[in-house]
Amino acid sequence: MKRLWGRKISDLALRDFLDILEWQALKKAKQVVYIDQWYPSSKTCSCCGHVLETLDLSVREWRCPSCQSVNGRDDNASKNIQTLGASMVRLGDVRRSKTAVAV
């Protein structure tokens, strides 16, 4: 089927998954929040908000040039996505607090 319809069948499967997710959320009185797929969640420091210009996929940990915190790629992205999602439904704020750095 994928050979006949190309990408449509893959998109249909994702849409079906999202429909099921939204249905379950509605049933449990929860909310599904969509964020922009191009939001730089891996390249943004979850401590100070500094955004790197480039970040190669092979880099799994990186040090923020602003606050010197060490960020694991996946953990950092999950914190940024959670913060952005919370701010979209007005549960939090995207602005970051200033962190203390020992010198």
More confident residue, 11 or 76: 76
State pLDDT tens for residues 4-19: 555 665 666 778 888 8
Q: Is residue 7 packed enough to be buried (19+ CB in 10 Å), middle (13-18) or exposed (0-12)?
A: exposed
CB 92 within 8 A of CB 83: yes
State pLDDT tens for residues 81-91: 998 888 888 77
Query: pLDDT at residue 100 above 50?
Result: no
Residues facing 63 on adjacent strands: 70
More confident residue, 51 or 3: 51
